[in-house]
Amino acid sequence: MKVEFLEPALIELDDAIDYYNMQSKGLGDDFLMKPYLLLG
């Protein structure tokens, strides 16, 4: 299955990654991988 994210969703995801990386180093990167792991 091919999953594509709309541009607004990608912007929101980038913002969330930045936020979580500011909270704890690497946390945003872990957060980024979750949708891809869940959606395959």
Whether residue 30 is contained in a domain is answered as: yes
Domain limits for position 23: 7-39
User: What is the pLDDT at residue 11?
Assistant: 96
Whether residue 20 is contained in a domain is answered as: yes
Question: Cα–Cα distance between 6 and 24 in angstroms, integer?
Answer: 27
- Give the chain's domain count: 1
User: What is the pLDDT at residue 35?
Assistant: 74
- 1-40 pLDDT tens trace: 777 889 999 999 899 999 999 999 999 999 888 877 887 6
Contacts with 1 (C-beta within 8 Å, 6 or more apart), sequence order:
39, 40
User: What is the pLDDT at residue 12?
Assistant: 95
Question: Cα–Cα distance between 2 and 11 in angstroms, integer?
Answer: 20
Whether residue 1 is contained in a domain is answered as: no
User: What is the pLDDT at residue 16?
Assistant: 94
Q: What is the DSSP string of 1-40?
A: ------HHHHHHHHHHHHHHHHHSTTHHHHHHHHHHHHH-
User: What is the pLDDT at residue 22?
Assistant: 97
Predicted model pTM: 0.71
